[in-house]
Amino acid sequence: MKLKTNIIIGAIFALLLAFVYFHEIRGGQERRQAAERSKQLLDFNESEVERLALIRPEGSIEVERIEGQWRVVLPVEDGADGEAIARYLRNIAESEREKVIVDSADALSAETAEYGLDRPRLGILVETEEGALDTLFFGTDAPTDRYTYVKQSGSNPEIFVVRAWRYDNLDKSVFDLRDRRVLALSKAEVTEASRAGISGPVSLRKEGADWLLQEPIVARASTEVVDGLLGKIETSEISEFVDEAPDGEALVAYGLDSRAVEWSFSLGQDRVEKRLSIGSEDDEGRYYARDESRPQVFLVDSTLVQKLTQEVTALRSKKPLQVDRDRINRMEYRRGPAMVFITEKDTSGVWNLQDPPGQKAKSWKLNALLTDLQSLEATGFAVAQGGEPPLGVRLMEDGQSLHYVQFFLRDGEIYLEQDGDSHAYKIDTDAFADIDMELDEVLQIPEPVDSTRVDE
């Protein structure tokens, strides 16, 4: 009897647990989710939206998803900003009714006029794969300016309010939603870049992680400067669209003819070409520009133009020496034809003098010499002239010369030249002073013997 009672009590307890779970816990979650959905203005899946329309008295804006990409189709035809569209749809989905003002306001035109909904300042239509959802119409702000009146089409066109800042997030222009990139490129994909026009020709080619100048000179480019230029293009946005369909005469007026500065970029293995033209300056210091894959003329900021029109010397690498110091284990330091010292590094990383023999070197001083050579930056450029240098430093690895660095004094300026390089690099005199040293600066002076000490 006792066992039977326990079984009955256990069964009742199990049923109670099941009721609590399905009704209170799981059911409660479902009811909360249903309540949250009922407060949403529109319930939709962002990935299923095919069309979005913003309806205003002065004209509509329409964007459509075409072959997986968002495009503006009204009032102009152009690419859309996919991230901006995603944010916009997210704002709609996250917007909630705060409270209902008038229920079933379909036939009450006087009430719609009271709330500015007889001529709404904004209507929003979202169309998914299954068809169009109810249209949202936004009227005036409530007297406190904390809320905006909204009417929804459909079977129960009630009037309700949303937070005013929600309306502000949805009140977008075509400029806000269209593709505002100056040029659609990823700097990581660019393999070649060239410039033509009044700023002078430039040709750049990427080798590995480094950039090389091909025109107007053959030289190493500053990877940092070139990456900065490409990064500026990649992140720059159009300031204003000024002409949606310019003809030839208009392009001349914008300076986008033979006077233009034109950059061309090759991207990826397929060598996809992108071209950007810069024209004349407007009254506000901005510049007319055009992406040659789009018909529009637009304005860009002067900071972008400054990078696009910089001189060739600004694009050049200012580092004359590409020194892999870990490979260097021998240095020969000369003044004119005379050898000042020869030093070699042992396996423990300590520098020892080979010439003059029998002397100890300040290893830290020789490491500092390598650092100073590695840190040199050119302040100007010239053509190498060669000759017997007043000062020369040969850097070697296992008896093989890696660099022969030569310093010349010409017209009061210090120039660096090196084997295999047709260019001379002007060096700051203070930087040169750290490299220009005498033998006694690298000698380790032995400690003097204490002659007063008496050995026991």
Complete domains list, the chain, with CATH: 46-177 (no CATH), 187-315 (2.60.40), 330-441 (no CATH)
Q: Which of 117, 238, 128 is nearest to 177 (CA)?
A: 238
Entry pTM:
0.81
Strand partners, 84: none
pLDDT above 50: residue 35: no
pLDDT at 30 over 70: no
DSSP secondary structure letter of residue 135? P
Average pLDDT over the chain, rounded to an integer: 90
The reported pLDDT for the residue numbered 33 is: 45
Q: Can you give the length of the chain in residues? A: 456
Q: In what order do the strands lie in the sheet with 210-215?
A: 219-220, 210-215, 202-207, 190-196, 261-267, 272-281, 287-291, 297-300, 240-243
Rounded Cα distance, 360 and 132, in Å: 88
Best CA proximity match to 298, nearest among 343, 359, 250, 227: 250
pLDDT of residue 386: 87
Confidence of residue 158 (pLDDT cuts 50, 70, 90): confident
- The most confident of the ranges 96-100, 108-112, 164-168, 268-272 is 164-168
